[in-house]
Homo-oligomer: A and B are copies of this chain.
Amino acid sequence: MRNLDLFFFPKSVAVVGASRKPGKVGYELLKNLLKFYKGRVFPVNPSADFILGLRVFRSLGDVPEPVDLVVVVVPAKAVPEVMEEAGKKGIKAAIVISGGFKEVGEEGGKLEKELVSIAKKYGIRFLGPNCQGINNPHKGLCASWPKITKKGPLAIISQSGTVAATFEIWAEKEGVGISKMAALGNKADINEIDLLNYLGSDPDTKAVAMYIEAVSDGRKFMDVATEVTSRKPVVVLKSGRTEAGAKAVASHTGSLAGSYKLYLAAFRKAGIIPVDSIEELYDVTKGLAFLPKPKGNRVQIVTSSGGSGIISTDYVEGLGLRMAEMSDGTKQSLKGELPTYCIIKNPLDLTGDADAERYDVALKELFKDNGIDIVITIFGDPIPRAAEVISKWFNRGKVIIPVYLGGGDVEEIEKRKMHASGIPVYPTPERAVKVVKALWDYTQYLLRTTKN
C-alpha cells in the first residue's frame, strides 16, 4: 500500500462528532460520505443512537470492527482525546476538520502541538486540523462538503477549503470531474508536499491544481514538484503576494508567505505553472489534463464571430504566442470550399451563418497545413453538432481548443457533450488563450529538461 492510501482508499471510515442536525458539518459530511461510498461507515457521538439510519457508537473504542480512517468533527478541546482513542484502536489515518488550533493564537497552538505528539506516539498520519477534508470520487468517498461525486482527471490540493470546493463545483457542473481533493488546513502533519508526491503517482490524476499560501519546506517542495512535473502538469495559485496579503496569511494558518518573486522563480524552475486567479487555476488545470502537447506556438483562429476572433488575436499576440500564417495552398483550398463571403485569413472568419459542416471543411484544410500548431476554434452562435466536429479533429496531430459563447441553449448542450468526451471547452476567447499560453510554457519546459 502506498503512503496516504488509507486516506483515499479506506475500507472503513469512522466519523467522530457525527450530528443529527442538518446544516452542521457533522451531519452534512456524514451524508455526503454515505452517498456513494461502499465501505463501512461508523458514526460516533456519545448522545445519539441513530443518525441517517446508521447505528451510532458512544466512542471510537466501542466500534466493533477495524477502522482505516477517522474523520474528527468535535470541538478543538476534545480532539486530543479522540486522537488518543484512535491510537489505542490502532487507527493510522485521521482527518481533523475541527478548527480552533494554531490559527486562533497561542492556546490553540499548544493544542495543535499536543495533537502532533499524540499522533507521533501512535504512528497516526493526519490531515488538518482546521480543514475541509478529502474527496475521491473514484472511490465514491466524499469526506468533505459540498457533495461532489463526478469522477474525472483533475486533482486539487488546497490550503483553503472554499477554493477546493469552488474548483470541485465547477468541475462537477461542467461534467469534467475530480480525481482527488485534499483541503490542507493547518498542515500540522500532512502537508502539500506529501500530497503532491502522492498524486504524482496516482493513475487517476492527469493534472494537479494547488492553492497555497505558504510552502512547508522549500527545498523538498522543489524536489517533489520537479519530479511530478516531469510526468504531469502542476498548476499553482499562490496567495499572500502583497504585504497585506502576507499578513493575512499569518492570520489564516500561522504561516509565513514569503516573497512572491522568489516563489515565481522557483515555480518556473520546477516546471510548475503559476496562475493569478481561482478561475485561471481551474481553466489551466482542466486544459492541461486533456490537451496534447503542441509542436510549436503558431496559433490559427477559426470562428463564426469576427469580434471573438479579434479579441483572441489580441490575446495571442499579447501573451507572446504567434499568429500562424496559412500556406497559399491552404488558402486556395479554403477558397474553393468555403462560401465567398468567408474571410480566409487568421482569424479565419466563417461568419455568422456557419454550421458544423463549414467548421469541418475548414479544419480538414487547416490540419493539413504544417505552419499551424494550435487551432483555437470559436463557436460564436448557436451551432448544433459543434461537439461532433471537435471530437473528430481532437488529438490528430495538432492541438485544437474550442471556445463556445453566445450560443444559448445549443451552447450548453454542445459544451456538455465536449466535456463528456474529454475535450476542454472555454466560455470566452480570453480564457482559452491563457490556457494555450500555459500549455505552451509547460511544453517548452518539458522540451528543455528532457534535452538536458
Q: Give residues in A with beta carbon < 8 Å to B.
A: 23, 25, 28, 76, 99-100, 103-104, 108, 132, 145-147, 158-166, 169, 211, 213, 237, 239-245, 247-249, 251-253, 276-279, 304-311, 313-314, 316-318, 323, 340-341, 343, 345-347, 349, 351-353, 380-382, 384, 405-409, 411, 427-431
| CB-based contact B341/A104 at 8 Å | yes
B contact residues around A405 at 8 Å (CB): 162, 165-166, 278
| CB-based contact A306/B145 at 8 Å | no
| CB-based contact B343/A104 at 8 Å | yes
14 new A-B contacts at CB < 8 Å, known A160-B307, A165-B406: A25-B352, A160-B305, A160-B306, A160-B380, A161-B305, A161-B307, A162-B305, A163-B308, A169-B406, A211-B307, A239-B313, A242-B313, A244-B313, A278-B429
| CB-based contact A146/B244 at 8 Å | no
| CB-based contact A310/B249 at 8 Å | yes
| CB-based contact A242/B317 at 8 Å | yes
B contact residues around A28 at 8 Å (CB): 382
A244 to B411, CA, bound (A): 28
Number of copies: 2
| CB-based contact A308/B243 at 8 Å | no
B contact residues around A380 at 8 Å (CB): 160-162, 165
| CB-based contact B343/A103 at 8 Å | yes
Q: Could you show 29 A-B contacts with beta carbons less than 8 Å apart?
A: A99-B341, A104-B343, A145-B408, A160-B307, A160-B380, A161-B307, A162-B405, A162-B406, A163-B308, A165-B381, A165-B407, A165-B408, A166-B405, A166-B427, A169-B406, A169-B411, A242-B313, A242-B317, A242-B318, A244-B346, A245-B310, A245-B317, A248-B309, A249-B310, A251-B306, A251-B349, A252-B343, A278-B311, A279-B428
| CB-based contact A244/B307 at 8 Å | no
A242 to B347, CA, bound (A): 14
A349 to B252, CA, bound (A): 8
B contact residues around A76 at 8 Å (CB): 341
Minimum C-beta distance from A137 to chain B (A): 15
B contact residues around A307 at 8 Å (CB): 158-163, 211, 213, 239, 252
| CB-based contact A353/B145 at 8 Å | no
- CB within 8 A of A407: which of B146, B247, B323? B146
Minimum C-beta distance from A19 to chain B (A): 12
- CB within 8 A of A25: which of B169, B349, B353, B407? B353
B contact residues around A247 at 8 Å (CB): 313, 345
| CB-based contact B244/A323 at 8 Å | yes
A210 to B166, CA, bound (A): 30
A25 to B242, CA, bound (A): 51
A277 to B280, CA, bound (A): 14
B contact residues around A237 at 8 Å (CB): 311
B contact residues around A166 at 8 Å (CB): 405-406, 427-428
A316 to B411, CA, bound (A): 35
| CB-based contact A318/B163 at 8 Å | no
A405 to B241, CA, bound (A): 21
Of A304, A306, A316, A409, most B-chain CB atoms within 10 Å:
A306
B contact residues around A132 at 8 Å (CB): 352
| CB-based contact B278/A169 at 8 Å | no
A323 to B247, CA, bound (A): 12
